[in-house]
Amino acid sequence: METSRATNKALSRRNLFQLGGIAAGALTLAGCSTTSPQTTSGTLQSSGKPSGQISILDDNTNMVFKNSTIKAFEQKTGIKVATYQQGNFNDLHDKMATMFAAQDSSFDVVMTWAGWSAEFGQAGWLEELTKSDVPTDLIQPALDAVSWRGKIYGLPKFVSVQTMFWNKDLYTKAGADPAAAPANWDEFVQTAKKLTSGDQFGYACDMGNPAGAYQNFLRMLLLSGGQMYDADYNPTFASDAGVEGLTKLVELLQVHKVMDPSSLQITNASDLADLFARGKTGSVFNWPFQFAVATASTSKLTKDTLGNGLIPGISVRSASIDGSEGFAINKYSKNKQAALAWLQFVTTGDVQMQIVEKEGWFPVSKTVLNDPAAIAALPVLTTYKESTKYVTKRYGTPWDNEFDLALSVQVINAMNGKTSPKDALTTAQKTAQDLVKKYLKS
């Protein structure tokens, strides 16, 4: 099945969102850059029909762009895509930071997500868009991935939100209700206990790298009703809600013993998806592509035995984390009008329907989101619509690449019982305070 092949190939890095910038020195210049981007002749305000050629630097998440979108774009606009280069997500941050610092115009379009939109946008390395550049059909969560502090630095290519997936067969065998997700955290824990036996666990996650540790903690923080920062980006995650969330995450492993111990070594969401598809765990919280992996011919599950619903909350009904991505325009591009034409083309209905059908991601278009054909191709869309009633955050900031590593050390120490959740978060929050001061007040 094409969706399964594309998804498995593309998403080996899904849970590695923020590792690319651990390197120091020149590759973290975006935080304090004093370099002013040069003005180029091909500004977005120029009149006339876009023409010429562009080069695109993307990660390897979406194969549909290479397979069909480029050709359709060239036929529709007359603009040629001279180069479309894909790279591993973990290598792109440093590559892009070096390119921007050198004022290199080799790539007109670059992929982005909330953290890079904030980091590179604040540094002045991404072209800021106006409201007139933005298609009216876009949903707000998609725009959040390409925005920072009220400024729009790109256009989205897909939306992604985590939901709960469970194995109905394992639920039935354990005497749990296979028809619905647990309504709250206590029910989730009790069900996970029923599902845990021998080498089979009730729950698994992916905490084997800084991004994974950050994401898993953030989800627990939101489920506890907490927040990472206040309106002025003062860190607030070492609150009672944060301590409660991390404590309950630790308890899954150390007290209830329902978390697969390999969760601390699993480094990406595709490996987690494969673990679930092999029937080794009863439930996971994962990105929408999990549907395609779990219903592939090689999986022990089918559409009929795969459950999908809201993630159960601790002090709120539900919450989730966002993983949307987009494209941005290099500030040093020589053909920004043509680059903008690519960004806008990717958001159109035909391209977004392929994102749903062939990639297993949520669309950025309201029209496609409500299209019965899209829901039939990706039933997880029904849960996504329900999840929009509740908090979904990612907190993409310019200091993500530095902060994730510091936070992950503390979270894993807590998971292994080396420090208390409260002490772990207090230490991490002090680091965050220093980073906020560095990036926003220097």
Q: Does domain 20-160+323-393 have CATH number 3.40.50.10490?
A: no
Return the SS3 of 156: strand
108-138 pLDDT, tens digit each: 999 999 999 999 999 999 999 999 999 999 9
Q: What is the pLDDT of residue 348?
A: 97
Please name the residue that has the structure tokens 């091909």. 42
Whether the domain at 20-160+323-393 and the domain at 163-321+399-440 fall into the same CATH topology:
yes
In whole angstroms, give the CA distance from residue 400 to residue 407.
10
Decide: 91 and 19 in contact? Cβ < 8 Å. no
pLDDT at residue 388, rounded to an integer: 92
Q: How many CA atoms lie within 13 A of 219 on its CB side?
A: 28
Question: For residues 115 and 118, what is the distance between their CA atoms, to the nearest angstrom?
Answer: 5
The string of pLDDT tens digits covering residues 422-442 is 999 999 999 999 999 999 975
HSE, CB side, 13 Å, CA atoms: give it for residue 226: 22
pLDDT digits (tens, 9 = 90+) for 397-417: 999 989 999 999 999 999 999
Q: What percent of the chain has pLDDT over 70?
A: 89
pLDDT tens-digit map of 45-93:
555 799 999 999 999 888 999 999 999 999 999 999 999 999 988 789 9
pTM of the model: 0.86
What SS3 state is found at 239? coil
Cβ atoms 155, 134 nearer than 8 A: yes
Angle between helices 114-122 and 89-101 (to 10 degrees): 10
d(CA 318, CA 303): 24
Architecture of domain 163-321+399-440: 3-Layer(aba) Sandwich (3.40)
Alpha-carbon distance 96 to 119, whole Å?
A: 11
Q: Where are the domains of the chain?
A: 20-160+323-393, 163-321+399-440
